[in-house]
Amino acid sequence: MKFADDLLALYKKHFSKEDHLPIFVYSILEQLDHDDLIHILKDCKKEELQDLVASSVLEYIDCNKKKTLTPTRFQPIEQKRKKIH
């Protein structure tokens, strides 16, 4: 995926270790709006998009199965409702 390759290159340009790569990636993604994210997805090849969606779905299922939070935005539905009310 070109976006991921570009992001990694940018990270390596500024940091020597990959210790903080997840924080870096999330901070970049948080700055993007909906249209930016859709543009990234549109640039993906079908196989890349399938892998991306499969990874996200599996992580979501695993997170909900364990009822724990991960560094992603996925949270069990019960926890989202508690925050709203």
Number of domains in the chain: 2
Say if residue 13 is in the same domain as residue 34: yes
Say if residue 16 is in the same domain as residue 39: yes
Which of the four pLDDT bands, split at 50, 70 and 90, describes residue 63? confident
Say if residue 35 is in the same domain as residue 4: yes
Say if residue 57 is in the same domain as residue 67: yes
Say if residue 14 is in the same domain as residue 35: yes
Please tell me the predicted confidence (pLDDT) of residue 81. Answer: 45
Say if residue 54 is in the same domain as residue 39: no
Say if residue 40 is in the same domain as residue 78: no
CA dist 11 and 27 (Å) reads: 12
CA dist 74 and 8 (Å) reads: 23
Domain residues for the domain of 29 are: 1-44
Instruction: Supply the DSSP symbol for 73.
Output: S
Which of the four pLDDT bands, split at 50, 70 and 90, describes residue 37? very high
Which of the four pLDDT bands, split at 50, 70 and 90, describes residue 70? low
- Residue 67 region, left (φ>0) first, then alpha (ψ -120 to 50), else beta? left
What is the value of pTM for the model shown? Answer: 0.64
